Amino acid sequence: MIPSEIIEKKRDGKNLSPNEIKWFIESLVNNRIDNSQLSALLMAIYFRGMDDKEMFALVEAMVESGEKFDFSYLGSYIADKHSTGGVGDKISFILAPILSSLGIVVPMIGGRGLAFTGGTIDKLESIPNFQTSLSLNKFRKQVETIGCCIASQSSEICPADKTLYSIRDLTGTVPSLPLICSSIMSKKIAEGLNGLVIDLKVGNGAFMKTLSDAKKLALGLKKIGKAFNINTEVLYTNMNQPLGKYAGLHCEIIEAIDCLNGKGSDDLMEISYELGSKILLQSRTATDKKTAKKLMQEAINNGTALNKFKEIISAQNGNIKKLALDHVVSKNEIIIEAEDDGIISSIETEKIGWTLVEIGCGRKMEKDKLDYTAGIEFINKIGDKVNKGDPIFRIFGNDIKRLNNAKTLLKKAYTLVKTEVLKDELIIN
């Protein structure tokens, strides 16, 4: 087959055959397709879409590009959680150890930052010495030993998706339904899951800006889940403002630890409990949502969830002692103050996300180095009353020039009104 012919076929709106898709993905993994050809096909898919048959073929080809896990011999429920990407979203670091401490096996393959959204793997790599790129055997052994592992794709685990993921981020093809669905589900199928819960973000800080678009994505994810025998549930959550008190890299790890210490903000814990309840009900660990939430709260209160997170960090060579004493020290910080009296009525969350990229928490180019000390603190959020001069955001990081650029962006990232503001529901029904 000839790559350009496959690209032209999709460009012209024709459906690709399973063999064409399989050949293209195999050629990509074997370095017979270059990034320019891949970029062209991704852009063609972005504009022309894929039908179900094409999407299932793409998922299967991506799964078959690497090794697959089978943890059924462990005799436990195998489950994972996935977020479609938000700002300040550190729920994986809260939920994975909670579920694992309750006997659920969690083999989590995470991703790096995409566009304006933060990446699970980038955040974990802010932990001194933490290893995210693991061999198949090490990943399997850690899951067998402690019941949970959070790692990136490697040459053995979904290598095709790893390449597609990085090129999508650089070519403006992130918000493509078939590409999002295939990326998410290929990794989850490779994990050998029984169950999956998806935190599908909706709002101005998500890829899906409307509930209508989110439901289209959910339909694709559920179709793939059904086709590959994974119990897949979707929770729609509000991303019209950042989650929690911080967004960035290492600051989010520290906030997740605060949550596991029982000091989590209401929004983070509400979503964590709602997602976790679905898995505990799927696995029959709990018989109703109230019992499921109680089990998770007990795992936090008795310290088993936090100990599990420490166990995960230690198993992946992370420096626990340094982390325990660490409170993200940056060379510089700037406070963004309210320019008038009023109540915060809205926050441009996507702009917050791009501001994080600007200060070094995300990549503009593939080879960009991240600033693990950088981040934003949300001192006031939607519905909060502020007076002129009160702090709204605190930005911090090592590069003062980038922080000053970010300050200009953040000054325009919120709106003040004089009348009372009703907060949106966090869980969207």
- Least confident piece of the model among 38-52, 163-177, 197-211, 344-358: 163-177
Whole-structure pTM value = 0.88
Quote the tokens at residue 131: 């290893």
Helices (H), 175-265: 177-190, 211-227, 250-258
pLDDT per position as a tens digit, 323-364 = 766 666 678 999 999 999 999 999 999 999 999 998 888 877
CATH number of 332-417: 3.90.1170.30
State phi, psi for 18 to the nearest 5 degrees. Answer: -55, -35
For the chain, the structural domain boundaries read 3-49, 72-324, 332-417
The set of long-range contacts for 410-414, using a CB threshold of 8 Å and a minimum separation of 24, is: 410/336, 410/351, 410/352, 410/355, 410/376, 411/336, 411/339, 412/348, 412/351, 413/347, 413/348, 413/351, 413/352, 413/355, 414/344, 414/346, 414/347, 414/348
C-alpha radius of gyration, the chain, whole number: 21
Q: Is the pLDDT of residue 82 over 80?
A: yes
pLDDT of residue 399: 87
Give the whole-angstrom CA distance, residue 309 versus residue 95.
10
pLDDT-above-90 percentage for the chain: 74
Count the helices and strands in the chain (H runs, E runs). Answer: 17, 13
Crossing angle (nearest 10°) for helices 52-64 and 159-171? 120
pLDDT per position as a tens digit, 200-228 = 999 999 888 999 999 999 999 999 999 99
Amino acid sitting at position 178 = P
- The residues annotated as belonging to the active site are 82, 161, 168, 183, 187
pLDDT of residue 200: 96
Q: Is the pLDDT of residue 124 over 80?
A: yes
Q: Is the pLDDT of residue 316 over 70?
A: yes
pLDDT of residue 327: 64
pLDDT category of residue 153 using cuts at 50, 70 and 90: confident
Specify the CATH number for 72-324; select among 3.40.190.10, 3.40.1030.10, 3.40.50.720, 3.30.43.10: 3.40.1030.10
What mean pLDDT is reported for the chain? 92
CATH topology of domain 3-49: 1.20.970
